[in-house]
Structure 1
Amino acid sequence: MTQLTWRNGLDGNETAEVMGLLSEVEDADGVAPAGEHVILRLQAHRGIVEQIEPVQADVGGSEHFVVRGADGVLAGYAHLDTAEEADGGALVAELAVHPQHREQGIGAKLIEALLERANLPTLPDVQVRPTEDGPAGTVTGRLRIWSHGEHPGALRLAERFGFTRFRELWRMGRELAGNELPQAELPDGVTIRAFTAGQDEAAVVRVNHRAFWWHPEQGGMTEQDLLDKQQQDWFDPAGFLLALDDSGELLGFHWTKVHPDGIGEVYVIGVDPEARGSGLGRSLTVAGLRHLQEVGCGQVMLYVEGDNGPAIRVYERLSFRRWDIDVQFGR
Structure 2
Amino acid sequence: MALTVEQVLAIAKATEAYDGVAPLDEATLLTLRNRPQDVTIWGDVRGFGALVGSELSLVVLTQHRGVGLGRQLLLRAPSLPTGTTAWSHGDNPAAAALAAKQGWERTRELWVMRRPVAGLPPAPSLPEGVFVRGFEPGDEAELLRVNAAAFAHHPEQGDMTAADLAERMAEPWFDASGLVTAWEGVSTSSTTRLLAFHWTKRHSETDGEVYVVGVDPAAQGRGLGKLITLLGLHHLAASGGGTTGAGGDGVTNIHLYVEGDNTPAVCLYEGLGFTRAAADTHVQYTRR
Report the TM-score when normalising by structure 1. 0.78
Query: Equivalent of 1:117, from 67, 71, 79?
Result: 79
Residue number in structure 2 paired with 1:231 = 170
Aligned length: 270
- Separation in 1, partners of 2:43, 2:133: 48
Is 1:328 the counterpart of 2:253? The answer is no
Report SS of the residue matched to 1:185: coil
Q: Which amino acid aligns with 1:325?
A: T
**Structure 2 counterpart of 1:81:** 52
8 Å contact kept, 2:205–2:251: no
Distance (whole Å) between structure 2 residues aligned to residue 315 and residue 180 of structure 1: 12
Match of 1:17 in 2: 7
1:183 partner amino acid: A
Q: In the superposition, relative to structure 1, how do residues 95 and 261 fare at CA in structure 2: closer, same or farther (>3 Å)?
A: farther
What is the Cα deviation at residue 154 of structure 1? 1.1
1:260 aligns to what SS in structure 2?
Answer: coil
Match of residue 318 from structure 1: 272
- Please give the residue correspondences for 1:151-166 in structure 2 after superposition, counting only pairs within 5 Å: 151-166=92-107
Shift of residue 162, structure 1, vs aligned partner: 3.0
- CA shift at 1:94, angstroms? 1.7
Aligned mate of 2:194, from 250, 263, 269: 250
User: Equivalents in 1 of 2:198, 2:6: separation in Å?
Assistant: 33
Change (3 A) 1:227 1:329: same
Equivalent residue for 2:247? none
In structure 1, what is the equivalent of residue 119 of structure 2?
179
Distance 1:330 1:44 in 2: 26
Per-residue deviation, residues 126-153 of structure 1 (Å, max 9, x unmatched) = xxxxxxxxxxxxxxx5222110011232
1:302 is aligned to: 256
Separation in structure 2 between the aligned mates of residue 287 and residue 184 of structure 1, nearest angstrom:
9
Q: Give the root-mean-square deviation of aligned CA atoms.
A: 1.7
User: Whose radius of gyration is greater, 1 or 2?
Assistant: 1
Query: Aligned partners of 1:200, 1:187: CA distance in 2, in Å?
Result: 21
Q: Does residue 105 of structure 1 match 2:51?
A: no
Residue of 167, 170, 173 corresponding to 2:111 = 170
Letter in 2 for 1:328: Q
From 203, 206, 213, the counterpart of 2:152: 213
Equivalent of 2:214 in 270, 277, 286: 270
- 1:67 counterpart = 2:6: no
User: What is residue 17 of structure 2 aligned with on the other side?
Assistant: 27
Q: Does structure 1 residue 146 correspond to structure 2 residue 123? A: no
Once the two structures are superposed, residues 39-83 of structure 1 have per-residue CA deviations (whole angstroms, 9 ceiling, x without a partner) of 10011035xxxxxxxxxxx23xx322x222xxxxx111122122x
Report the residue type matching 2:104 in the other structure.
Answer: F
Structure 2: any 5+ residue segments left out of the alignment?
186-190, 240-249
Q: Which amino acid aligns with 1:34?
A: L
Contact 1:234/1:257 (8 A) holds in 2: yes
Distance in 1 (CA, whole Å) between partners of 2:103 and 2:199 is 38
Q: Helix, strand or coil: the match of 1:183?
A: coil
Determine the structure 2 residue equivalent to 1:49. Answer: none
Matched residue SS, 2:43: strand
* CA–CA separation in structure 2 for the residues paired with 1:159 and 1:105: 15
**Per-residue deviation, residues 181-208 of structure 1 (Å, max 9, x unmatched):** 22233222111100013x1111101111
| Residue-by-residue CA offset, 1:246-281 (whole Å, 9 max, x unaligned) | 142111110000003631100001111110011001
Measured after TM superposition, the shift of residue 215 of structure 1 is 0.8
State the secondary structure of the residue aligned to 1:157.
Answer: helix
Is 1:196 equivalent to 2:172 in the alignment?
no
1:46-61 → structure 2 map (5 Å cutoff): 46=36, 58-59=37-38
1:241 aligns with 2:212: no
Counterpart Cα distance in 2 of 1:184 and 1:322: 25
Identity %: 41
Q: Counterpart of 1:117 in 2: which secondary structure?
A: coil
Q: Match for residue 245 of structure 2?
A: none
Output the amino acid matched with 2:263.
G
Question: In structure 2, how many angstroms separate the alpha carbons of the residues matched to 1:30 and 1:297?
Answer: 19
- TM-score normalised to structure 2 length: 0.89
Structure 1 segments (4+ residues) deviating >4 Å? none
**In the alignment, what sits opposite 2:188?**
none
Which AA in structure 2 matches 1:118?
Answer: L
